[in-house]
Amino acid sequence: MNQETKTYRKGEIPGIIAINARECKGCDACKRFCPTGAITGMFGTTHRVDVDRCISCGQCLINCPFGAPYETVDPVDEVAAKLADKHVTVVGIIAPAVRVAIGEPFGMPAGSLVTGKMYSAMKKAGFVILDNNFAADLTIMEEGTEFIQRARHALFGEKAEHGGGIGPLPQFTSCCPAWVRFVETNYPALIPNLSSAKSPQQMAGAVAKTYGAAQVFNVAPESVYTVGIMPCTAKKFEASRPEFQSAWHFTKEKGGSAPSAPYPDIDAVLTTRDLARLLKKMKINLAAENDAEGGTLFAEYTGAGTIFGNTGGVMEAALRTAWVVLTGTPLSKIEFTAVRGLKGVKSAAVTLRDRKYGKEVTVKVAVVHDIRANIRPIVEEVMAGRSPYHFIEVMNCPGGCINGGGQPVCDTGSSWIGRVLPSFAWS
């Protein structure tokens, strides 16, 4: 544990978000958007961030009218140096929400979908593409089948196939690092309820440095430099967590040429704003690029991975997976509209027949976004043993990842959601 803090382990980055005292006007806008009360200071006085209470979500940053909050971790120069090194394979792991935001810093209308242009610009910069939608597909297979195992254990007493314990219900999603840290620092008793699945970013990093290095890039794992390109400031914290060194452990266990010192699955994280700065630094105008393909297996993905960036997307993907696995039949209508939209808490019940046990099962799910306003009644129900739900998706940011703390900031200091999301999001 770091000496300066109480809630961080050795190696973790404390204080992804800080406040520039010269810019702060003490207006309290940041306090209104902070989900954990991490911002201190009286009205009219300079504010500061309590790093132990902060979950690095960046909502204060994108909602401050004076631009006082800022990111303390800026990897742009380091990534640029790696891109210039011909002995390094730099893998760009692009989150789904980035592609509808990265056009804005280049003069394109807010909300423009620029996947092809982004691929082209990143390839010109020297990146190899690993679309995080690919990893989101991996995540939902892991998270979805884990939920099925938990549900069958609770409903039918099914045991784990390979021994070990089975987590309790309701199962919470674990894709959002701000939400995971919120649970760890505010409701540690609920940690067993979190899915054991890594986030797509962390799965992507491990895949890139194992299968990717050996079978796709044909390079040594230690020469792969992975860059998460995310709409989220909390992803910078997540990448620093010491448990996310899976590729190094795997290579070492398999007798590979792993260095003696562990290396992380994700080496650096660029927010959407960071990527725009990097491309401009390299004199690449994304808006002028022609569309390009991703170019590798890792740029292939389904619609289930694509919708992870919006509130309800993970739950919808999970329900699709659960339906097919439990019933053995494809869905006649693939959309689950009940979990879509911008309502703070959405719920649905889906009845299906579990072919393994020959019984009908009703799965009750909830989707929560904007934990500042909506999460506490949900977790209090779970803590009290009164929750009606089996599976709960939680995203910290209003609207989900598309309104993450790493997205473009409006000149007036208001977040992206107020300008674009009503027309972009599911109805």
Give yes or no: 238 in active site: yes
Please list, in sequence order, all residues whose beta carbon lies within 8 angstroms of the beta carbon of residue 26, skipping any fewer than 6 positions away: 41, 42, 43, 44, 45, 46, 47
Which residue of the set 24, 30, 54, 401 is catalytic? 401
Please list, in sequence order, all residues whose beta carbon lies within 8 angstroms of the beta carbon of residue 316, skipping any fewer than 6 positions away: 304, 307, 335, 336, 339, 340
Locate 372 and state its tokens. Answer: 């500042």
What is the spatial distance between Cα 308 and Cα 140, in angstroms, rounded to a whole number?
A: 9
Q: Could you check whether the bond before residue 221 is cis, i.e. omega within 30 degrees of 0?
A: no
Answer for the pair 235, 274: CB distance below 8 angstroms, yes or no. no
Q: How far is CA 150 from the centre of its chain?
A: 23
Which residue of the set 56, 120, 174, 195 is catalytic? 195
What is the spatial distance between Cα 223 and Cα 412, in angstroms, rounded to a whole number?
A: 42
Listed residue (279, 233, 269) closest to 71, CA to CA: 233
What is the spatial distance between Cα 342 and Cα 325, in angstroms, rounded to a whole number?
A: 29
Give yes or no: 235 in active site: yes
What is the spatial distance between Cα 300 and Cα 283, in angstroms, rounded to a whole number?
A: 28
Give the DSSP letter string of 97-120: GGGGTTTGGGTPPTT---HHHHHH
Give yes or no: 401 in active site: yes
Give yes or no: 4 in active site: no
Give yes or no: 175 in active site: yes
What is the spatial distance between Cα 3 and Cα 38, in angstroms, rounded to a whole number?
A: 19
Which residue of the set 71, 104, 146, 393 is catalytic? 146
Which residue of the set 24, 54, 60, 175 is catalytic? 175
Give yes or no: 300 in active site: no
Which residue of the set 143, 289, 316, 393 is catalytic? 143
Helix (H, G, I), strand (E, B) or coil at 181: helix
Which residue of the set 82, 235, 236, 346 is catalytic? 235
Which residue of the set 23, 243, 293, 300 is catalytic? 243
Please list, in sequence order, all residues whose beta carbon lies within 8 angstroms of the beta carbon of residue 169, skipping any fewer than 6 positions away: 150, 151, 154, 193, 390, 391
Catalytic residues: 143, 146, 175, 195, 235, 238, 243, 401
